[in-house]
Structures are given as C-alpha cells and as structure tokens.
Chains A and B, each alone.
Chain A
Amino acid sequence: MSAEALRNNGRVAWAAFVMTLRMQAPDSFTLFTIVVQPLIVAVLAMWMLVERGASNAIYVVVGSGMTGLWSGLLFLGGNSINWERWTGTLELLVGQPTPVAVIVFGKNLAIVVLSLSGMVVCYALAALIFRQPLSVGQPLLFAGSLVLTVVAFVTFGLVIAPIFLLSPAVGNFQNALEFPIYMLCGFLFPIALLPGWTTPMSYVLGPYWAARALHGTATGGADVSEVLLSWGMMLALSMIYLLISGRLVELMLKRARSDATLRME
C-alpha cells in the first residue's frame, strides 16, 4: 500500500470513527448496551462479593466492563454493515473508492472505545456505592493490556460484521451469542470452572486473552511472561482475524453485488 493510500485510508477510518461516535453516543440502545447492562452485571456481582466478604472488587469492575465491550461489539459492531444496508447507505459506501473494511474498522473502533465507558461507570459504582477498595495491581501492564484489548475486540468485530450480512441465519442467533462469550472468555469467572472441552474454544477467542491480561494485571501478581503470552496471543489472533475478515468482506461484497442485496427495499 502506498503512503498516499495509507494516509487516505487513515483519514477515512478516522472519519468513520468520529461519525460513529456522534451517531451512537446519544442513542438509548447504545447507552443500555454499553453502560446499563454492565452496570446491572456489576451490581449483582458486587452484592455477591460483599455478601461473601471477598475483596477483589477490581475483578468485578474489569469483568463487568468487558461484558459491555462484548455486548457493544456484538450488537453495534456486529450490525455495523447491516445497519448501513438498513439505512440505504451501504450502496454509497460500496460505490466509493475506499475499501469498505476500512470504514468498518473505524466504526468498530468507535464502538469499542465507547464501550470502555461501561468499565469506567462500573469502577465508579464499586468505589462510590459499594465503597470497595479499588487499585490496579500493575498499572503499566494494565494500560498495555487495555490497548491490545481494543485491538483484539475491533479485529474480532471485523470478522462478525460480514458474517451477519453473509448469513442472516447466524444473525438470527445474535442474542444467543452474548452469554456464551461472557463465559468462554472468562469475563466474570475463570474458565477453569468450565468443562475442559470448552478450553480450546476459549483459546481461539481474542477477548479471552484480553480478559486474562486485564484480570491478571488489574488484580496484580501476574507473571510478566504470562501477560506477554496474552499480548502475543491477542496480536496473533488479531492478525488472523484481519486476514479472515478481509476475505469475508470481499466475499460479502461479491455476493451482494451478484444477488443485489446491497440495498434493502
């Protein structure tokens, strides 16, 4: 890719990022998905925690926030292409010179960044309402993990968005995909509690490695090598997701141009 193409694509991704923030931030469904829902999860988990006299509230904050990240990605990022089709703008996006995947990247980035606000709200809840001591054990490693978490979620979203358009049947099960990922990725409890046969499924999910890195560095005491393993897996899986999504978007556009499904009449 030439420097000019890189600059143009960067501008387009930024424009899509800004546009999505402006469109989604005031939306009540978005607010519920990325703030209210993780807040409900956090309240319930905090009560359980307080009842048991346990002290790792930061685990709950991170886990609840991650449920918001996933829900936001699933319902908003997953529908980012479909939504353009519903509003009649997909044809315009396909008919312009920038690859559609660049636009979807910018949109998903906005959704993931916006969804991080759920984690902030859960932190405020734990600190102000439940008066729990909250400190991040390894702040620098946590910050690094957070950046890679954004990458892992955005690239994972790039895979699911074209699938929902390619296969409406999968889209019909969108709601059902929410809780299995919470569990398989260990957002709220370690995957060691799940049957052993589910572990390979967790390992191919970027959000699992994100949860592992964030939980480990937030609660403190994580080996640096363990954190680096999670970072490496997030990067490797993100690269794989990018390759898969590139092919899926290509296939999606070819099929949509062939089947005349770019526009919903």
Chain B
Amino acid sequence: MNTIEVVHLRREYKARMGVIRRTTKLVVAVDDISFEVKTGELFGMLGPNGAGKTTTVKMLTTLLLPTRGTARVLGYDVAKQADKIRGRIGFIFGGERGLYWRLSGTDNMRYFASLYHVEPEVSRKRIPFLMELVGLGDRAKEKVEGYSRGMMQRLHIARTLLHDPEVLFLDEPTIGLDPVGAREVRQLIRNLQAEKKTILLTTHYMFEADALCQRVAVINKGNIVALDTPQALKAHVADLSVVEVEVFGVPVEVIERVRSQPFVDTVSVENVDQRQSLHIQTPRGSEAVPDLMNLLSGLRIGKVVVREPTLEDAYVRLVGGEA
C-alpha cells in the first residue's frame, strides 16, 4: 500500500527582476516527477542544490500548490484536502529558522503540542521524553536564542515528533549537526522506521541515503533521473573505478581536457581549502593513472587513490558531474 503517490507533479515560479523595468521569468523548480512511497518505507531524495527536493517536500506537506499534476498523502490530495493531511504528518526543514527564539525549548514544544491538539496530560510526559531523546534534556529550559545550530535542528526534530505523526518529511535533518549529533539523528531515524513510520528524507549526504533509505530517487533539474535501491543505483557504476587525485590550483581548461578523454566517464571537483580533489570515473581503473598524470603534468599533485565506486559516484554519474 502506498502512503505517498506523486503523478506528473510540476511546480513553476515567477521570478521578478528589475526595479524600473520589471520583468518576470518563469522558473521550473519541479518539472515532471512521479513516484510512490510505500507505507512504512524510508524513501530518500538525493540531488544537488536547486534540484527541486525542498519544493517537492513543500508540495507534499501542503505548503505549496502544485502547478500541474497530483500528489496524494495518506490517500488525500495535497492541494484540495490539506486539512485531512496536516494533523497526520510531521515535517522539518533544515536550518535555524522556524522556532521562537525568545522562548525556551520546552515552551516551544508546549506551544506546538497545543497546535497539534496533543492532550495536556500526554504532552507533559512526551515533551521531556522527546527532549531527552534528541539530547536537549539538560538545556530544555534555556531560551532557544542561546542554542547552537545543531541544537535548534534537534529541537526541530523533537517538535515534529510531538503528535506522533504517521508520515515524516525530513528535509536535510542532519544539516548543521556535528558528526556525533548527525549519527544520533540517523539512529533516531532508524528507530522511527522500525516503528513502521513512513519517512521521506532529503539529503545531500550519499552515505546517509545509502545507510538509511530502502529506495532513493535521484533528482536533478526538477526531474527524477534514477529511482532504485542504493545497491541497484551503485550498480550503475559497477563497471567503473574512481581515481581521486589531489591537485593544487587546477585550471578549468585542464579539467575539461581530462573530461574529454575517451577513457574518462565523469569528472567532479571538490574544493578543500587551497586544494582540489578530482574524482575521475573510468573503466580502466589504475591503468588510467599514468595517462591522467600526463594530462595533469606541470601541476602540483598530492595524493592519488584508486577505489571502488560508492553511491556518491553513482549519483555524480547520474547528475552529470554536477555534485
């Protein structure tokens, strides 16, 4: 049985430009996506910034009206039957906003418990339990303005669990968290999934999607470019190896030269401080290293590593090296 059903969903925006001569430009945030999430499934959405992940979540949580297509959550249409959906879902959007900074963590929780019609005797027990669960038990009475970004993120997570929703939409829930905090949140998500909650998770972190999700949709430029299990997605790059080359100050034309080689599948560049890390996908594996060194001659080169592809490499291939 499907809890979420999305059919040819599209969302356009009108972007306004100019001061004197005002013009509008049509921006397609979500072009045409269709997918379904089964009851109790943990479904992931992966994609670069601006791919349309958050817009999709906002439509599914009834905060945005689709331009075209339909989406149903728990059997109800998100555009026409929003009232029937809202009390049964929970959602968080990454970031520090969306909290009352002058109130304590507990006061924020109390307020949202009232909004979600949680009975006072239930919320009296549930709020301290959730605050402990997200590691804020000892800071619960402090004003939110003194919380770190990670603490605010954890408070968001506690807030969304207040009314024990059947469906959870988690838009980058580990963003801004330290590694330990992020690991705890991932464990929390696993526990929620064990309770058979339906979860739609968007993330930038491939290992997070790999570790948590039963199926992953890779979204790029408003379209789903792949939808499968993490294992099946990794199979997209099973014939390739990844050569990671650490370089300092690599010019764009050199990257383009590497990219144009027949033995190179994709190239992505990760900037780390003063250096760049080139991730080159190639079917030739370590045999490609001498040719790559020739192409990069004259540049200061650091570490060179040849490894098996990961979900991240599959993702890079699917979105065309834009990650």
Q: Which residues of A contact B (CB under 8 A)?
A: 8, 11-12, 14-16, 19, 22-23, 26, 87-89, 91-98, 103, 254, 257-260, 262-263
| Chain A: CB-nearest residue to B67 | A258
B12 to chain A, nearest CB (A): 10
> B207 — which chain A residues lie within 8 A by C-beta?
none
Determine if A15 and B63 form an interchain contact, defined as CB atoms under 8 angstroms apart: no
Please report the C-alpha to C-alpha distance between residue A103 and residue B100 in the assembled complex, in whole angstroms.
15
Determine if A19 and B115 form an interchain contact, defined as CB atoms under 8 angstroms apart: no
Determine if A97 and B87 form an interchain contact, defined as CB atoms under 8 angstroms apart: yes
| Chain B: CB-nearest residue to A87 | B97
A26 to chain B, nearest CB (A): 8
The A/B interface has a contact count, at CB < 8 Å, of: 76
Determine if B83 and A97 form an interchain contact, defined as CB atoms under 8 angstroms apart: yes
Please report the C-alpha to C-alpha distance between residue A16 and residue B64 in the assembled complex, in whole angstroms.
24
Q: Which residues of B contact A (CB under 8 A)?
A: 13-14, 58, 61-65, 83, 86-87, 89, 91, 93, 95, 97-103, 107, 110-112, 114-117
Determine if A257 and B103 form an interchain contact, defined as CB atoms under 8 angstroms apart: no
Determine if B111 and A15 form an interchain contact, defined as CB atoms under 8 angstroms apart: yes
- The CB with the most chain A CB atoms within 10 A, among B61, B116, B117, is that of B117
Identify the 10 closest CB pairs spanning chains A and B, nearest first. Answer: A88-B97, A15-B114, A97-B87, A88-B98, A96-B115, A8-B117, A97-B86, A257-B65, A258-B65, A19-B111
A17 to chain B, nearest CB (A): 11
Q: List 26 A-B contacts (CB under 8 A).
A: A11-B117, A15-B110, A15-B111, A19-B107, A19-B111, A26-B102, A87-B97, A89-B97, A89-B99, A89-B100, A91-B63, A91-B93, A91-B98, A94-B63, A95-B86, A96-B112, A96-B115, A97-B83, A98-B115, A103-B115, A254-B65, A257-B63, A259-B14, A260-B13, A260-B58, A263-B97
Known: A87-B97, A95-B61, A257-B62. 5 other contacts (CB 8 A): A12-B117, A87-B101, A91-B98, A94-B62, A96-B87
| Chain A: CB-nearest residue to B101 | A87
B76 to chain A, nearest CB (A): 13
> A258 — which chain B residues lie within 8 A by C-beta?
65
Please report the C-alpha to C-alpha distance between residue A89 and residue B98 in the assembled complex, in whole angstroms.
4
> A14 — which chain B residues lie within 8 A by C-beta?
114
> B99 — which chain A residues lie within 8 A by C-beta?
89
| Chain B: CB-nearest residue to A93 | B115
> B98 — which chain A residues lie within 8 A by C-beta?
87-89, 91-92
> B117 — which chain A residues lie within 8 A by C-beta?
8, 11-12, 97-98
**Chain A, interface SS category:** helix
A21 to chain B, nearest CB (A): 11
> A19 — which chain B residues lie within 8 A by C-beta?
100, 103, 107, 111
- The CB with the most chain B CB atoms within 10 A, among A14, A87, A257, A259, is that of A257
> A15 — which chain B residues lie within 8 A by C-beta?
110-111, 114-115
Determine if A95 and B114 form an interchain contact, defined as CB atoms under 8 angstroms apart: no
Determine if A23 and B102 form an interchain contact, defined as CB atoms under 8 angstroms apart: yes
Which one of B89, B95, B103, B112 contacts A92 once the chains associate, using CB atoms below 8 Å?
A: B112
Knowing A15-B110, A98-B115, the reply to whether A23 touches B103 (Cβ < 8 A) is yes
- The CB with the most chain B CB atoms within 10 A, among A16, A88, A92, is that of A92
B100 to chain A, nearest CB (A): 7
Which one of A88, A89, A95 contacts B63 once the chains associate, using CB atoms below 8 Å?
A: A95
> B115 — which chain A residues lie within 8 A by C-beta?
12, 15, 93, 96-98, 103
> A91 — which chain B residues lie within 8 A by C-beta?
58, 63, 93, 98
Please report the C-alpha to C-alpha distance between residue A137 and residue B117 in the assembled complex, in whole angstroms.
45
> B58 — which chain A residues lie within 8 A by C-beta?
91, 260
- The CB with the most chain A CB atoms within 10 A, among B61, B65, B91, B99, is that of B65
Please report the C-alpha to C-alpha distance between residue A263 and residue B13 in the assembled complex, in whole angstroms.
14
> A97 — which chain B residues lie within 8 A by C-beta?
83, 86-87, 115-117
Please report the C-alpha to C-alpha distance between residue A154 and residue B100 in the assembled complex, in whole angstroms.
23
> A88 — which chain B residues lie within 8 A by C-beta?
95, 97-98
Which one of A89, A96, A103, A260 contacts B86 once the chains associate, using CB atoms below 8 Å?
A: A96
Determine if A262 and B114 form an interchain contact, defined as CB atoms under 8 angstroms apart: no
A253 to chain B, nearest CB (A): 9
B61 to chain A, nearest CB (A): 5
| Chain B: CB-nearest residue to A265 | B97
Please report the C-alpha to C-alpha distance between residue A88 and residue B61 in the assembled complex, in whole angstroms.
16
